[in-house]
Structure 1
Amino acid sequence: MGGSAPAESGRAALEVSLLRGRAGIRARGEINGVTRPSWEQALSELARRHAGVSYVELSDVAFVDVAGVTALAVTAMNLPDGRVVVENPPPQLPRVLEMFWPGLDRIEVAL
């Protein structure tokens, strides 16, 4: 995951790259059944590199399905310490987190 790792099928695509200057990833596109393997791989890499606080920048993500939010929540819950700060997510992400993981303090959503 050095540069970007596109996953495509038809019009659904996801591109994930490392953030510059801080620990984390930036995603662009959609997180759905087609792109989920790339999303989960990026989250695995994020967890491997995690050191206290990791950032997930989602301002260029148009949609994330429930399974994509689940992968994020499970990744955060399995971190040994610290938290994941999710920046500028699509509107459904905070709603799904609140619905299924209310009070999950390992994820901070920054709108």
Structure 2
Amino acid sequence: MDESTAERIVAEAIKFVHTAARFSTASIAPSKVVDEGWHAPILHTELYAKLCEGLGCFVHHYPERPDPGRFDQHALTRTVATIEQAGYETDPELWTGPAKSLVSVAARCK
């Protein structure tokens, strides 16, 4: 993927993590593409720990099996609304369901 798209995805993931820290009891979830962007900082554990420390809490990642049948559009709608409540503008192209994904996601959970 091109660098510009990768930057957009990671930016949305950081917005998601900040929102998850700020609204820790909210029922929110990243889109499949944004979840991939979240993996980028998580894999750099020292960087991710510093990010979470700055947010005041550690935001854990709980992977789920990929199952298009469990897709809940309302979860993404709630998440986008909560991110916007946190003061961010979202990139609508990255907050879509699995059938409209901007980029293909390679992750497979078993």
**Higher relative contact order, structure no. (Cα contacts within 8 Å, ≥ 6 residues apart):** 2
TM-score of the aligned structures, taking structure 1 as reference length: 0.31
- Structure number with the higher strand fraction is 1
- Structure number with the higher helix fraction is 2
